[in-house]
Amino acid sequence: MPESLSTDVLIVGGGVAGLWLNARLRREGFATVLVEKGTLGGGQSVKSQGIIHGGTKYALQGALTGASEAIADMPRRWREALSGNGELDLSGVRLLSDAHYLWSPGTLAGNLTSFFASKAVRSRVGQVKGSELPPALQHPKFKGKVYRLSELVLDVPSLITRLAELAGDSLLTGQRIEPLREGDELVGLRIDERDVRAQRIVFSAGGGTAELLATLGLQQPAMQRRPLHMVMVKAPTLKPLYAHCLGGGTKPRITVTSHPTADGEWVWYLGGDLAEADGVARDEASQIATAKKELAGLVPWIDLSAAHWATLRIDRAEPAQSSLARPDNAFLAAPLSTSSRLLVGWPTKLALSPDFADRVLAALERDGIRPQRQPPLPPLPRPAITGPFWEGLLP
Ligand code: FAD
């Protein structure tokens, strides 16, 4: 006989979206179980750049879009959580940088003119010079302009560790997931040898969500993958840098974040346009060669002769959009019917995890779902927590 458990909300997927939601629900008094098949945070979350966007980079496309509006409040909410005074207590999570920077290496007046045309952007951005420049750019040979954005960069492994602490006894490692039905109604999931019944089931399994939906015979909501080919470089000469480096287009030419290694050095993690379509088409060697050329042009004073290089292919998983456009908000749907127990979604950005949780809480409120008196959970086998993935890829 399978072991039988009961909870208010059963969450599938322990990336930042599922973990944040789990912590919020528990804080609101809901009983939860979160099931993860791999390591907590080991999907897209730990491989993200950890930037808590406020949407400023989207203003490069001209006027502020829906994206910028929805995301604008995220830095404040994360800051409050990091200080221990927000919707979650994330005190102790390592803040890598209190600001992200916009770096214009040459004369890109056209680009910046449209950017600064927005009043909302002007109020959030200030130019920095001299000793205020990010350490990696403080060099006599540096030319260009740098603007400080009111956005944060987090150490994602420490964020995942903290969110796992806030999960208490709710975490469950599980591989095989099947629907648990009573009549036609989905009432829970069979997870390996356990039946877990719940008032609501939330799929927040990132790239695994399409497959989970298929186990229920569902194809909606449709998911899209956006492949990226990221580059990592590690060298004793690297100082931290967190910046979108502008090219001529509306997307950053390179987005650089810096991540600490166990031996006290820094890894620069390079995304932006470099990692998108053309970068995806390149093999590892030519992607590294392209990145080397970019850095040689942009920061020629940094000696990278002893650097170690690697690349990482990773897909972003998001709700399907026309022509693979970037989704604007966290996304949540009730694919069976609005009164069914199943909710499915993607935060679409790590930064939007609070928005994802808001949407789930709003759906619970709409459906009159309240915390019920649930029996205490037996000890459950816990999933491991991911570590810094770059340690395994670079010497
Ligand atoms: P994931 O982190 O992928 O977690 C899903 C989890 O579900 C995984 O742990 C997986 O093992 C688990 N799972 C899957 N299937 C099952 C199953 N059947 N049963 C149980 N568990 C299952 N966003 C930002 O805001 N800022 C950034 O700087 C940023 N940079 C990025 C850089 C890159 C290279 C990439 C790829 C993304 C970046 N993003 C960024 C986006 C961000 O990483 C994602 O939006 C966010 O991490 C998604 O979180 P998630 O919890 O939905 O997914």
pLDDT single digits (tens) 355-384? 999 999 999 999 999 999 999 999 999 999
Residues 38-54, mean pLDDT to the nearest whole number = 96
The angle subtended at Cα 150 by Cα 146 and Cα 155, nearest 5°, is 100
Give me ligand 1 centre to Cα 111, in Å.
Answer: 31
**For the complex shown, is ipTM > 0.85?**
yes
* CATH 3.30.9 domain position(s) in the chain: 96-154+225-316
Give me ligand 1 centre to Cα 248, in Å.
Answer: 29
* pLDDT above 90 coverage of the chain, percent: 79
Give me ligand 1 centre to Cα 356, in Å.
Answer: 13
Give me ligand 1 centre to Cα 16, in Å.
Answer: 7
* Domain at 96-154+225-316: CATH code: 3.30.9
Rounded distance, CA 317 to CA 207, Å? 5
Q: Is 54 in the pocket of ligand 1 (CB under 6 A)?
A: no
Which of the residue ranges 47-61, 107-121, 262-276, 333-347 has the most confident prediction, judged by mean pLDDT?
A: 262-276
Q: Is 15 in the pocket of ligand 1 (CB under 6 A)?
A: yes
- pTM, two decimals, is 0.95
Over residues 290-341, the pLDDT tens digits come to: 999 999 999 999 999 999 999 999 999 999 976 545 556 899 999 877 669 9
> Which CATH number, 3.40.50.300, 3.40.50.620, 3.50.50.60, 2.40.400.10, labels domain 3-45+159-222+323-393?
3.50.50.60
Give me ligand 1 centre to Cα 349, in Å.
Answer: 8
* pLDDT above 70 coverage of the chain, percent: 90
* CATH 3.50.50.60 domain position(s) in the chain: 3-45+159-222+323-393
Q: Which long-range contacts (CB under 8 A, 24 or more apart) does 371-379 make?
A: 371/8, 371/28, 371/29, 371/30, 371/31, 372/8, 372/31, 372/199, 374/6, 374/7, 374/8, 374/31, 375/6, 377/5, 377/7, 377/31, 377/33, 377/169, 377/170, 378/3, 378/5, 379/169
Q: Are strands 3-12 and 32-36 parallel, antiparallel or unpaired?
A: parallel
120: left (phi over 0), alpha (psi -120 to 50) or beta: alpha
Closest atom of ligand 1 to CA, residue 40: 9
Q: Is 206 in the pocket of ligand 1 (CB under 6 A)?
A: yes
Q: Is 230 in the pocket of ligand 1 (CB under 6 A)?
A: yes
Give me the pLDDT at residue 313, please.
98
